[in-house]
């Protein structure tokens, strides 16, 4: 999932730089149609539902759709993804403004490489040292990445910011998902994962719209500077000792 979230924007930036947005949407529609066809051939094991569960499902209960124990960390992932959408929405326009269009297509390649290089170590550190000792350095890494992005004047710093954001955001998402599942009862692990992705997808949906409103009142540099501050301040308040 993290790799796809990195490769997707790269493909979009590359195509928009060498073609039109119509081609971007055409390719996206083709991929979606291919996914739909693949889903038709998936074999999923049937789930047996008892009579008691069928009677209970007839009554609406919000706990049947959301796992309360997973909500705090899911709210945190909503906040962090909301900030991340500023990249998806405006990175290509920002690159044109600072005359780094040629480098911008490599931003998400560096992002992906840094993410893939950090994930194996992050899993081991998560098990050995706990989520807090891993999460807070990653938040700082993410904030520094956006800070560098807001002040970038060279291609090297532009790509360095991509590496830092890749390590920070990509690893934090995996970390938070593990926390959401760990904190939930054994019989509600799947619901915890569902709750986590509800907030994650919601941030991806409303984030570009929200960032579009903000950009009407500030420059791209100031937007990414505020995102860096958002990472540094807000996440520290949202996160708590999860053990």
Could you tell me the pTM of the whole model?
0.78
Domain boundaries, the chain: 2-238
Mind spelling out the 3-state secondary structure of 61-129? CHHHCCCHHHHHHHHHHHHHHHHHHHHHHHHHHHHHHCCCHHHHCCHHHHHHHHHHHHHHHHHHHHHHH
Answer whether residue 50 shows pLDDT above 70. no
In this predicted structure, what is the pLDDT of residue 237? Answer: 60
Q: Which fold has domain 2-238?
A: Growth Hormone; Chain: A; (1.20.1250)
- Given pLDDT bands bounded at 50, 70 and 90, which one contains residue 58? low
Answer whether residue 136 shows pLDDT above 90. no
Q: How far apart are CA 26 and CA 105, in angstroms?
A: 20
Q: How far apart are CA 212 and CA 89, in angstroms?
A: 8
Tens of pLDDT, residues 104-130: 878 888 988 898 888 888 878 877 777
Residues 6+ away with beta carbon under 8 Å from 54? none
Answer whether residue 234 shows pLDDT above 70. no
CB atoms within 10 A of CB 2: 17
Tell me the backbone φ, ψ of residue 216, rounded to 5 degrees. -70, -20
In this predicted structure, what is the pLDDT of residue 241? Answer: 45
- Given pLDDT bands bounded at 50, 70 and 90, which one contains residue 29? very high
Average pLDDT for 56-76: 77
Which range among 14-18, 68-72, 206-210, 226-230 shows the weakest confidence by mean pLDDT? Answer: 14-18
189, with CB counted inside 10 A (0-12, 13-18, 19+), is middle
Which range among 62-71, 74-83, 113-122, 228-237 shows the weakest confidence by mean pLDDT? Answer: 228-237
Please report how many Cα atoms fall inside a 13 Å half-sphere around the Cα of residue 85, on the Cβ side.
Answer: 22
Answer whether residue 20 shows pLDDT above 90. no
Q: How far apart are CA 105 and CA 40, in angstroms?
A: 34
């Amino acid at each position: 999932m993290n790799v796809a979230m990195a490769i997707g924007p790269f493909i979009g930036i590359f195509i928009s730089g060498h073609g039109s947005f119509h081609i971007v949407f055409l390719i996206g529609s083709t991929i979606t149609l291919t996914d739909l066809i693949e889903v038709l051939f998936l074999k999923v094991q049937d789930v047996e539902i008892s009579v008691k569960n069928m009677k209970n499902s007839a009554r609406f209960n919000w706990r049947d759709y959301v796992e309360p124990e997973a909500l705090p960390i899911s709210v945190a992932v909503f906040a962090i993804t909301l900030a991340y959408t500023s990249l998806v929405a405006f990175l290509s326009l920002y690159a044109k403004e600072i005359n780094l269009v040629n480098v911008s297509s490599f931003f998400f390649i560096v992002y992906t490489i840094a993410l893939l290089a950090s994930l194996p170590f992050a899993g081991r550190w998560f098990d050995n040292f706990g989520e807090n000792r891993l999460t807070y350095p990653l938040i700082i890494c993410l904030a520094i990445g956006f800070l560098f992005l807001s002040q970038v004047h060279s291609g090297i710093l532009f790509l360095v910011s991509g590496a830092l954001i890749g390590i920070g955001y990509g690893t934090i998402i995996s970390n938070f998902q593990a926390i959401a599942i760990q904190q939930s009862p054994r019989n509600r692990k799947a619901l915890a994962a569902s709750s986590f992705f509800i907030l994650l997808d919601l941030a991806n949906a409303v984030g570009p719209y929200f960032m579009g409103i903000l950009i009407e009142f500030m420059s791209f540099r100031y937007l990414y500077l505020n995102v860096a501050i958002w990472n540094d301040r807000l996440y520290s308040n949202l996160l708590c000792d999860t053990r």
